[in-house]
């Protein structure tokens, strides 16, 4: 049986809103020991992703998540295979990929999730 995103994704995803202050984002990432978080609107629709790298690259005056986030986000569906997810993560050098149903965030898969799935095979 093929392993799919739904089998390995984290369903309780730490998310942030576009209006969150960058300082609060930095605190959240540090507290949760994560390197990035999906940015969702009030309807849980994915609008971007904000990472440690985005915080490091920010310029003066960029004080909100919306001002630093990447709005073009690669995503996968719940049916995406383990191999396809690994290819997206490796090919684009991402650490995580959001899992969406339509435009709604339903989970996230990290490199560590993929490695664990491969080890269990």
Q: Looking at residue 121, what is its pLDDT?
A: 78
Mean pLDDT of 20-46: 96
Specify the 3-state DSSP secondary structure of 118. Answer: helix
Q: Looking at residue 44, what is its pLDDT?
A: 87
Mean pLDDT of 42-63: 94
Q: Across-strand partners of 107? A: 99
Measured between alpha carbons, how far is 23 from 48 in angstroms, rounded to an integer? Answer: 18
Mean pLDDT of 24-44: 95
Binned at pLDDT 50, 70 and 90, residue 1 comes out as confident
Binned at pLDDT 50, 70 and 90, residue 103 comes out as confident
Q: Looking at residue 64, what is its pLDDT?
A: 98
* Percent of the chain scoring above 90 in pLDDT: 90
Q: Tell me if 87 sits within 8 A of 80, measured CB to CB.
A: no
Specify the 3-state DSSP secondary structure of 53. Answer: helix
5-120 sits in which CATH class? Answer: alpha beta
Q: Where in the chain are the domains?
A: 5-120
């Amino acid at each position: 049986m093929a392993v799919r995103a739904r089998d390995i994704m984290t369903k309780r995803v730490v998310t942030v809103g576009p209006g969150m202050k960058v300082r609060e984002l930095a605190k959240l990432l540090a507290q949760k020991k994560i390197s990035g978080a999906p940015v969702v609107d009030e309807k849980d629709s994915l609008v971007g992703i904000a990472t440690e790298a985005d915080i490091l690259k920010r310029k003066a005056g960029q004080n909100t998540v919306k001002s630093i986030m990447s709005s073009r986000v690669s995503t996968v569906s719940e049916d995406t295979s383990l191999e396809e997810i690994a290819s997206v993560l490796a090919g684009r050098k991402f650490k995580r990929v959001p899992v969406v149903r339509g435009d709604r965030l339903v989970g996230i898969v990290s490199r560590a999730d993929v490695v664990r799935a491969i080890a269990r095979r």
